[in-house]
Structure 1
Amino acid sequence: MENGTHTLDTTDTSEISKSKNIENEEKSPPQKLLHDEVIDALIKEAEKRGLSDCQLDITSGSTKGDNFMGILAIVKVTGKNINGEKVQLNWIAKAAPQTDLYRSMLKIDIAYATEVYMYKLFDQLDEFQAEKKLLQPFNAHPKFVLSYLEPYKESFVMEDLKAEGYVLRDRKQPLDINHVKHVMREYGKFHAISFALRDQKPELFAKLAKEREEKIFVTDDEEHIQNMIKYQDNFNNKLLALLNEESDAEVIKSLKYYCKDPVHFNMNTITETNEYSVIGHGDCWTNNFIWKYEDAKNPEIPTKVCILDWQLSRYGSVALDLSYFFYACTTQEFREKHYDKMIQLYYYSLCSHLVEMGSDPERMFPFSALINELKHHCTFGFYMGTMVLHIMISDNTEMPEFSKTDNVDQFMESFDYKSVNEHLFNERARGVILHMHQKGYFDYLKDK
């Protein structure tokens, strides 16, 4: 390579001791971690940053079950700066899957374009917040390095937060109150920027909202819709089976409002927007939050959180993020004790940030409007939360090979497996149903 050399190890990190420098053996990913064009771009980026004699070390960055929208690669770039000193850059890259069916079902091209768009948008949001001289701006996102969006080679690169001391939590473990508080504060600040832009730069915000209209979960493909209905009917029957016909009679009645037409209910919930809609995160499960623990006296209490994976980001209700997060990441016991207070914390964070940016929260987003958004948009969180829970509680060894399915039926059926941890799913999914009923979040579907 003209501008430098690189080493490429495509083995899973758990297999490195058994098999080194192998690209195509059975234990390796089905494709190279990064395409040659992306590797060239990485070297050029390092040179733009003042490095020479660059070398790249690229290794697998995730295990089975950690990420469903691509292959993660850890990229370590070493080179010399202008003073001849050795410098290392720590980046992480995500590369799109190449299987046609998998790409089509998950709309991979749109997802990658969305995430790249969001990382570039963060630069504008950072500038807007800097204009306001905020003491604690929203910046809980990775720093963008570069992207490459040629079809079948879609990739983007960010700075590696793990190299800065951030860690992922075990996805099977629900979040406790110390972790949830961090997410509520950051979601509040992030959503507040949309309200401030709508108020102060309405033309810009209208443009951003238009560009972030939902494209992943909506379709007019009748065959795809029928496949989704078939899957949802089967899944909802499993959820109904978690309830007792006598003691849960009213809960069953509420859930059956949703079961009448869940696919169209969810498409409508996602796409219905109003003067309280925001640009949201979109994919709010445990693996998309990475944590820093800097207090040696309280090593279990996080000091920072960073939000990952913006591929499902959309313009929609704040409740889409909130409900998905609470149903995927917390237990019913937690929600019964803390849900209302955490919603209040979220609202306090949003209002405080909005006031600092110069807008009136009572005029832009009164608390009554938040409660109404939750009542009318939490069915999406119910759908995503229960579906993701099924995957979250599974062991890595039982994760289905979605990318190896040959047709749509196989793809949909690959979600239908029984985990060795099924009891954990049953407990947490039942809790989600109970909370939806207790809060009246199914009720607005009664007359639909």
Structure 2
Amino acid sequence: MVFNKDEMHAPAWMNSAFFEKVLKQSENNNGLSVTECQIVPGTRPGDHFASIIFRAIVKYQSRGADHEVSLIVKTVPDANGLKRDILKDGVLFDTEIVMYNTVMPEMHRLLRSVGDDTELGPRLLCFAKEPNIVMVFEDISKRGYSMKDKLLSLSEAKIAYKKMARWHAASVHLANTVPVIKTLDKGLASITNDEFETIWDSNIGLLANVCKEWPGYEHFSEKVENLKKKIHKKVNHIYQLKESNIYNVLNHGDFHYKNMMYKVENETTKDILLLDYQISVWGSPAIDIIYSLYNLCSTETRDNHRGELIKFYYDEFVASLNKFGHLGKIPTLLDLNVEILKCGHLEIFLASAFLPFMLVTFEEMMEEHSKNNDPEEGFELFDMNNMEKMQEMLQAGYRKPGYAAVMQKSLPVFLTKGFLDV
């Protein structure tokens, strides 16, 4: 098996005393006592980035009976590196705490008030910023939800887009009565720093290089290379709140298939719950839609059903606003498509810098290079702070046939739409 290096050992403070405090609070029972806890990695490598996650199996005694519970613990890595640099000031956790403590409960209340039992995400049991930044959640795997290891089919994407549409609609309707919604501004662009830009420029450079290896696509190499440095300004502009936007919503911000858990029955996905609200941001709805087209939808879904999926989302969005009795102006489908076109530089950015992570698993990329095996523990370690290793692995991803097929079809479209012009 493969694990993130920074999740192999839980921090010293994550012990029985910590979980006893958590459970006393969540169960409102000061007499509760923890008898045993086992902590294991909470996700697979590549399933998340801006945090480390553990699963804790806790046995305890409460009100004269023995109990066992599974908890998900999200915190900041102890080791220095890129993750810690991003998370050290706690701003991303602040956003997620606001989402779980204030915004999500209001969204659920609004949905229930019109007879809609849509569940958007798991429950947050407790959180703290001192002495350690930490959030503890219910483990929804115990309710039959699990992760997926591939991008979504059309039917699955429609389940996710229905949640997105209702989320967006609820945010529009609540924006004036829950004013904190409009203050959330720590989206993807806000966590960009020189180190991130260097990594993303390196990824764009990898695409420019492989274009030279594809017969008939050599002329795209210079266009792609020219995106480096310049594309970041375009992306930052997309994420900025602008009066010129036809309308705004609260974007989830990181709407990809690894930030969801799926209830599957008889090999059919029945429900999806959303996770990870650290970069939720008030802005153009195109942010979530474009991001999800590249980080949630399978190639077949995006290429063959893009228009259908956008209209499906729009119809659900409008239906929800009407259910809420929303009195404001309801945007048209044309308004939405104009917003998506206006934000087109986000498409080329995601396709060139992010998409290989979606099309090629970390395990597949590691197969192309020497593996870091721990001789004592017997498992493979993946260190997300090791940028040199990540770049080596990414090179393999950019040369995978699946990514080549996507980009050879997409680059001419990006060219004719002007997305390669910066």
TM-score (norm. length: structure 2): 0.81
Query: Counterpart of 1:239?
Result: 207
Distance 1:314 1:343 in 2: 20
Deviation at 1:327, TM superposition (A): 0.9
Cα gap change, 1:158 to 1:341, in 2 (>3 Å): same
Distance 1:306 1:423 in 2: 30
Query: Counterpart of 2:377?
Result: none
Cα gap change, 1:129 to 1:238, in 2 (>3 Å): same
Candidates 232, 244, 250, aligned match of 1:279:
250
Q: How does 1:211-222 map to 2 (within 5 A)?
A: 212-214=184-186, 217-218=189-190
Which amino acid is the alignment partner of residue 314 of structure 2? Y
In the alignment, is residue 204 of structure 1 matched against residue 178 of structure 2?
A: yes
Which amino acid is the alignment partner of residue 351 of structure 1? V
Do the aligned partners of 1:175 and 1:329 also contact (CA within 8 Å) in 2? yes
Which amino acid is the alignment partner of residue 72 of structure 1? I
In the alignment, is residue 147 of structure 1 matched against residue 113 of structure 2?
A: no
Candidates 267, 275, 300, aligned match of 2:236:
267
Query: Counterpart of 1:169?
Result: 148
3-state SS of 1:142 partner: coil
Query: What whole-Å deviation, never above 9, does each CA across 1:381-424 have from its counterpart, x for those lacking one?
Result: 54345434434424345675234x5xxxxx4x453113596367
Query: What whole-Å deviation, never above 9, does each CA across 1:171-210 have from its counterpart, x for those lacking one?
Result: xx22212211111111111111122224xxx2634x4212
Deviation at 1:272, TM superposition (A): 3.9
Candidates 364, 373, 377, aligned match of 2:343:
377
Query: Counterpart of 1:443?
Result: 418
% same residue: 17
Deviation at 1:325, TM superposition (A): 1.4
Query: Counterpart of 2:376?
Result: none
Distance 1:402 1:78 in 2: 32
Which amino acid is the alignment partner of residue 189 of structure 2? F
CA RMSD, 1 decimal? 3.6
Query: What whole-Å deviation, never above 9, does each CA across 1:20-58 have from its counterpart, x for those lacking one?
Result: xxxxx9994273482677435313224416873444523
Which amino acid is the alignment partner of residue 92 of structure 2? A
For these two proteins, the number of residue pairs brought into alignment is 399
Deviation at 1:371, TM superposition (A): 0.3
Which amino acid is the alignment partner of residue 260 of structure 2? F
Distance 1:42 1:13 in 2: 29
Query: What whole-Å deviation, never above 9, does each CA across 1:196-229 have from its counterpart, x for those lacking one?
Result: 224xxx2634x4212x01366337x9xx44x455
Distance 1:46 1:89 in 2: 12
> Structure 1: which 4+ aligned runs deviate by more than 6 Å?
249-254
In the alignment, structure 1 segments of 5+ residues that lack a partner are 1-11, 15-24, 406-410
Query: Counterpart of 2:110?
Result: 128
Q: Structure 1 stretch 99-108 or stretch 432-441: which is displaced more?
A: 432-441
Q: How does 1:239-388 map to 2 (within 5 A)?
A: 239-243=207-211, 247-248=216-217, 255=224, 258-259=227-228, 261-273=230-242, 274=245, 276-294=247-265, 299-359=266-326, 363-384=329-350, 386-388=352-354
Do the aligned partners of 1:52 and 1:81 also contact (CA within 8 Å) in 2? yes
Do the aligned partners of 2:261 and 2:273 also contact (CA within 8 Å) in 1? yes
Distance 2:33 2:84 in 1: 40
Query: Counterpart of 1:43?
Result: 23
Cα gap change, 1:73 to 1:128, in 2 (>3 Å): same
Distance 2:171 2:330 in 1: 10
Query: What whole-Å deviation, never above 9, does each CA across 1:144-188 have from its counterpart, x for those lacking one?
Result: 10001126x211011111011101111xx2221221111111111
In the alignment, is residue 428 of structure 1 matched against residue 403 of structure 2?
A: yes
Do the aligned partners of 1:38 and 1:148 also contact (CA within 8 Å) in 2? no
